[in-house]
Chains A and B, each alone.
Chain A
């Protein structure tokens, strides 16, 4: 049914993929951010740090995409 298309079988494995675990695990570690102080621009730690994790997620997925394409 399938014909051999490439000499080398394709895969999505790459050591870079491990980087994806960072933004998966980080936002779930509540002890890192479950506090009011220190505040940033009036935002308690709980809110500004979790918002900052969005940037970590974007950074990691972008890097993995660029390194594995």
Chain B
């Protein structure tokens, strides 16, 4: 452990700095007219008043998580070109949601929505559909929070720290300042996190290739490694069997990203439509960074980096980037890099727990337990639930194999996609019948889980839930081609939702009432709001 003392000191100092900021954040940008932050608008959405810069840091810090920074290069390290899907994924996403997010912001502004399920509740007049959307969001988000711990753990392992106590302490501190400051805490910390990440990665992509003989030799080393493996699917370019997987994984992940409640939380916290649209042009700066981070996986190959061997005797490829930094950087800078990853886990973990807590408060507590909840009661419940969610995430990591969280997150991506017809298409059309949407959701979920169950992973010797690449051979096609399971599940969902809508209309089943008006979708800052939320509907 003594070899890592400098790294540890730098890491700890930076960690303490952001923890202090987290507590101070409660008073940051609070309008003088507001006595306390005891409402979801304040605690859960930071006053819905963030400008372009804050939103850029917040949403960037939210979407590009520590787990991404650790897992994407790990995938490049072991599988090659396929891992680079993260780049087209994060290029496609912004033009894709450019108009959609602005509509979501407007309708949420007018009606005071806090979660995607709030929108579905009002749009389709169905508490049942809203509950399903909320539960889907909760189930998809929980393992994602747990995975942020995997990011911190990878860093600690590389510094020679084992045992779970440091993680418990880190999450306890995180839980305390999120409880106190709400969304303002991750918003303020995101400035430090993103700055550190940019500094570390820009330094890494200039310094490390210079030491390894240039980019050309890094790619050559990677190509040589993959050529020597028996696996035909790896390599520094794609092959016939994984091109469709690459395309559908990139596109499917892009479709899913802003369906995650925590992504929407960041967007709804912005001040007006222009802030969102400007960010759609500015956020790709992070995609550039992510592309460079992915290539760290190849640098690790060229440098001959070995992943840290875990307690179970197996090499943990998630440690490949921290191990590369340890090998290449002077100790103090490796400490900064580790802090960047560690703090990089705190920002999304905080936002995700807030988003999950809001889902519970708005779509379970308010809907089923206390219909007349006051703003202060909502905030109180959300704060408590955010604590429960974090305890749950820590327990997940402590009691279960981390692999379980990784599997769950994989499933999470597939199931959150099943909310697309209600949440995404719902912003454009009210054509679907609520019953059709529920049927489509159930069918997509079933199809997705079935496909994931059938996917083995020969590398780790797992028979089920081994990845997201579904072999079309399973459907009777004579091919080795694979496709992203979530994409196929979404297709099933859409077909069933359309057929179900026709069926329910033909049977004259009553549909819910739409509480939104067309002009709501284009409203901007300063336009009148609808208050109080006037909702009717039957289950």
A complexed with B? yes
Query: In the bound complex, how far is the Cα of B284 from the Cα of A27, in angstroms?
Result: 13
Contact between B530 and A1, CB atoms less than 8 A apart: yes
Interface size on B, residues (CB 8 A): 48
In-complex Cβ contact of A23 among B95, B216, B519 (8 A): B95
In-complex Cβ contact of A11 among B214, B251, B295, B522 (8 A): B522
- Say how far A17's CB is from chain B's closest CB, in angstroms: 7
A-B residue pair count with CB separations less than 8 angstroms: 120
Contact between B519 and A10, CB atoms less than 8 A apart: yes
- Say how far A19's CB is from chain B's closest CB, in angstroms: 8
Given contacts A43-B215, A58-B281, A61-B280, contact A50 B84 (CB under 8 A): yes
Flag whether B236 is at the interface (Cβ < 8 A): yes
Query: In the bound complex, how far is the Cα of B243 from the Cα of A35, in angstroms?
Result: 12
Interface residue stretch chosen among B7-15, B30-38, B85-93, B156-164: B85-93
Which B residues, 41 to 78, have Cβ-Cβ distances below 8 Å to chain A? none
**Chain B residue nearest to A59 in the complex (CB):** B281
**Chain B residue nearest to A50 in the complex (CB):** B87
Write out, one digit per residue, whether chain B residues 96-111 have a CB within 8 A of any chain A CB (1) or not (0): 1011001100000000
Contact between A2 and B519, CB atoms less than 8 A apart: yes
Interface size on A, residues (CB 8 A): 40
In-complex Cβ contact of B278 among A5, A34, A65 (8 A): A65
**Chain A residue nearest to B81 in the complex (CB):** A46
Contact between B238 and A41, CB atoms less than 8 A apart: no
Contact between B274 and A69, CB atoms less than 8 A apart: yes
Contact between A28 and B94, CB atoms less than 8 A apart: no
Given contacts A12-B99, A20-B95, A34-B243, contact A43 B527 (CB under 8 A): no
Chain A contacts for B534, CB-based, 8 A = 1
Flag whether B327 is at the interface (Cβ < 8 A): no
Contact between B522 and A10, CB atoms less than 8 A apart: yes
- Say how far A45's CB is from chain B's closest CB, in angstroms: 8
Contact between A42 and B281, CB atoms less than 8 A apart: no
Flag whether B366 is at the interface (Cβ < 8 A): no
Of A5, A20, A46, A58, the most chain B CB neighbours within 10 A belong to A58
Q: Could you list some 8 contacts between A and B, CB below 8 A? A: A5-B527, A12-B102, A28-B247, A39-B216, A46-B237, A46-B238, A50-B291, A64-B98
Residues of B whose CB lies within 8 Å of any CB of A are: 81, 84, 87-88, 91-92, 94-96, 98-99, 102-103, 214-219, 223, 236-238, 243, 246-247, 250-251, 274, 277-278, 280-281, 284, 287-288, 291, 295, 517-522, 527-528, 530, 534
Q: For the A-B complex with A12-B103, A44-B237 known, give 17 more contacts whose Cβ atoms are closer than 8 Å.
A: A9-B519, A10-B522, A12-B99, A12-B522, A28-B247, A28-B250, A30-B247, A34-B237, A34-B243, A36-B219, A43-B219, A46-B81, A50-B88, A54-B288, A58-B284, A61-B95, A65-B277
